[in-house]
Amino acid sequence: MWSMILLGYRDHGIDPNVLKLGILLILFDVYIKWFRLEKYYTVSNIPFIEQPLFLQYLYILFLCVIEFIVFQFGIRLAVFFYISDKYAIVKYNYITMALIISSFGKILIISMVIWDYDQLEFSWLINVVVLTSNIEALAVFLDMDYYKSFGIMVVGLGLKILAQMFFIEVTNSPLLMTLLSI
């Protein structure tokens, strides 16, 4: 108890409801990546396509979890280096919650489950909505202008893309370079 009084803040983690939303968003990313893979690369001579569905799902799920973790870490790292001197205590769990909640636009992907879409031309628009919502959430929570919060988002997205490329290189599957989408 004294440590909470002396420190003034203690990281209590992420709210369970926000954590559930984060898991749901990761599962939507898995769905979109798997949909793209099946739609555009159904050639039977590709080794990944010939794997059992369970292994394909686990592979893409693991990729999406790594993307999510690296993206969150990149945002926290950029916030730490950019505004660590501005505030005495930065509530990094609130930054994570703000980013998860502001990614509500990915829920629009549920329409692909309900209605059968043969193309993903609108998915870039959903990514733009999510990106602008994340920038707005950072700008509001950290009390900074949009250019600075955009710079922080660029760091997070850059690390996410590097993590994707590293994961695909390590697993040695060049076909999965098609899964690179922000």
pLDDT, tens digit (0-9, with 9 covering 90-100), for 93-102: 788 888 888 8
Lowest mean pLDDT among 12-21, 149-158, 173-182: 173-182
Half-sphere exposure (Cβ direction) of 57: Cα atoms closer than 13 Å: 6
Kindly list the distances between the CA atom of residue 95 and the CA atoms of 30, 61, 148, 165, in Å, as whole numbers in the listed order: 23, 23, 15, 25
Q: Which is more confident, 162 or 45?
A: 162
Q: pLDDT digits over 122-158, tens only?
A: 677 888 888 999 999 998 888 888 899 999 999 999 9
List the one residue out of 171, 180, 153 whose CA is nearest residue 75.
153
Contact 94, 141 (CB under 8 A): yes
Q: Is the pLDDT of residue 88 over 60?
A: no
Supply the pTM of this predicted model. 0.79
**Residue found by looking up tokens 């898991």 in the block:** 23
Q: Quote the mean pLDDT of the chain.
A: 77
CA distances from 9 to 5, 83, 92, 98 (A): 8, 17, 11, 18
**172: containing domain:** 2-179
Closest CA to 46 of 178, 175, 181, 179: 175
Q: Tally the domains of the chain.
A: 1
**Collapsed DSSP state (helix, strand, coil) of residue 9:** coil
